[in-house]
Amino acid sequence: MSTSKRQMRLGAFIMATGHHIAAWRHPEAQADAGLNIDHYRELAQTAERGKFDLVFVADSPAGWDRAKDPEALRRTAQGAHFEPLTLWAALSQVTKHIGFVATASTTYEDPYLLARRFASLDYISKGRAAWNVVTTGADVSKNFSISGHPAHADRYERAEEFVDLVKGLWDSYEDDAFIRDKESGVYLDPDKVHLVDHKGKFFSVAGPLNVGRPVQGYPVIVQAGASEPGRELAARTAEMIFTANQTFEDAQEFYSDVKGRLARNGRRPDELLISPGIFPVLGGTEAEAQANYDHIQSLVHPSIAWNILARLYKGIDLSGYSLDDPAPPLPENTELNKSRLKLVSDLVSRNNLTLRQFYLAVATARGHRTVVGTPEQIADAMQSWFENGAADAFNIMPPILPTALTDFVDQVVPILRKRGLFRHEYEGTTLRENLGLQRPPNGFVVQAGQQQVQAAV
């Protein structure tokens, strides 16, 4: 094995029954997956067997709205699943190496409580926790006793303050604050406990946190928004960025744009890993892969198709259209998930899609890159982005679970290894070590050191 060659990182992006919107109807799917811990245990262990860096679940603090479309609700498996941190805490006990990325919203969470939960997960998993920082595109305000969904710019302003505050709270205790000397009766060095004492635009928090400094210093910070303020937030604070790109050109533009923002924040390009999603539809031959793709697409019920379109064409009446009409231009919406709307708009205009082709394109992986082919072709598709400035890592988005993850691990991972692109063994014990990321120093200690240097000159 070549160890000097740059290595690809792999994440298993898990959507209960699979990423395809109709996955739960497939004969191989675990239909009750969202609330089945044995299913998730199998997935985490399969990903670990494949030496994946991490498993990841997306999340939004809201269920499907029955009033909006009861027929679609009747036919979707996406409305009921576990809360991510609870799920990962359980699965960290039946795995040893794999990292756990949990999504949590800076718009709808509280910084103190969130800092505490992620620090706890980092201890419970022995250094394998990561936080996917999202600002939540969808309006879920009705679940939170507030009058409305904050505007895009406000959500990002709050996110900036939120992430800094959480990091400050994680620094409440220096790494060697706990002495725990039974003989002398000294448990803790109070000089190594710090108050964040934060008073900002959105939050007022004293500290300290009631958990020690996380095993990794900070759990790994992941970010998944790709709008202008999303990219800025990532360039300043994130260590991995999840993204959706359809074409190589878009992926390359995103990659170089985000990497180009790092130096301005005093960071090196390798301090932020870029991980686009890929939805692989495998087959032993090209024809078999295409047949697998056609089969799963045939499972999309018409009411789900119209629901997908209605959500994309918010505010536009589609009742006069048939599925074989050309897709009209999408409305501009500047407040929700900006980057994804742009991506699907480009998809329609680039390919002159009909409404049917459009919903089928989105049903697979909501705009992420879909590759239909043999294991070699999937590996080729990954290698070309990895080696040409478009990706450091990939979020593998199995269409059907559990089988498509098992197939990827058994059929694609060996090819990536043979090409020297992916590890044979984990390099370290924490997620940071495996991703090749530094353990951050305690901000209070760094600040005190700087003050001492200033006093000395």
Ligand X SMILES: Cc1cc2nc3c(=O)[nH]c(=O)nc-3n(C[C@H](O)[C@H](O)[C@H](O)COP(=O)(O)O)c2cc1C
d(CA 128, CA 133): 16
Cα gap 345→339, rounded to integer Å: 10
Report the nearest approach of ligand X to the CB of residue 11 (Å). 9
For residue 99, what are the contacts with CB-CB under 8 A and spacing of at least 6? Answer: 53, 54, 55, 128, 129, 130, 220, 431, 434, 435
* E strand or H helix at 347: helix 338-351
Among candidate residues 307, 263, 236, the one with its CA nearest the CA of residue 64? 307
Q: How far is the CB of 213 from ligand X (least distance, A)?
A: 27
Q: 290 with 283: CB under 8 angstroms?
A: yes
Q: In this complex, which beta carbon is closest to ligand X, that of residue 139 or of residue 197?
A: 139
Q: Is 322 annotated as a binding residue?
A: no
Q: How far is the CB of 14 from ligand X (least distance, A)?
A: 11
Q: Which is nearer to ligand X, 112 or 156 (CB)?
A: 156
Kindly report the backbone phi and psi dihedral angles of residue 278, in degrees, each rounded to the nearest multiple of 5, phi listed first. Answer: -140, 130
152 is in an annotated binding site: yes
Would you call the peptide bond into 402 cis, given omega within 30 degrees of 0 as the criterion? Answer: yes
Least Å from the CB of residue 30 to ligand X: 21
Block residue for tokens 């260590």: 239
Length of the chain: 457
Q: Which is nearer to ligand X, 224 or 361 (CB)?
A: 224
The minimum distance between CB 79 and ligand X, in angstroms, equals 15
- In the complex, minimum distance from the CB of residue 377 to ligand X, in angstroms, rounded to a whole number: 22
Of the pair 134, 355, the CB lying nearest ligand X is at 134
- Look up residue 168 and give its amino acid: G
Q: Which is nearer to ligand X, 217 or 225 (CB)?
A: 225
DSSP character at residue 227: S
**Which one, 213 or 231, has the nearer CB to ligand X?**
231
Structural Rg of the chain based on CA atoms = 23
Structure tokens belonging to residue 258: 């985000």
According to DSSP, the β-strands at 99-105 and 54-57 are: parallel
Q: Which is nearer to ligand X, 227 or 406 (CB)?
A: 227
H or E segment to which residue 241 belongs? strand 240-243
* Of 7 and 105, CB closest to ligand X: 105
Minimum CB–partner distance for residue 340 and ligand X (Å): 6
Instruction: Please state, in angstroms and rounded to a whole number, the distance separating the CA atoms of residues 338 and 226.
Output: 8
User: Which residues of this chain interact with ligand X, rule CB under 6 A?
Assistant: 58-60, 103, 134-137, 224-227, 230, 242-244, 277, 337-339, 395
- The least distance separating ligand X from the CB of residue 388, rounded to whole angstroms, comes to 20
Per the CB < 8 A criterion, the answer to whether 280 and 404 are in contact is: yes
Instruction: Name, in order, each residue with C-beta under 8 angstroms of 218's C-beta and a sequence gap of 6 or more.
Output: 167, 170, 440
Is residue 32 a known part of a binding site?
no
Q: Is 103 annotated as a binding residue?
A: yes
Residue 59 among known ligand-binding residues? yes
Q: How far is residue 251's CA from residue 9's CA, in Å, rounded to a whole number?
A: 16
Helix (H/G/I), strand (E/B), else coil: 28: coil
Residue ranges of the annotated binding site for FMN are 59, 103, 152, 156, 227
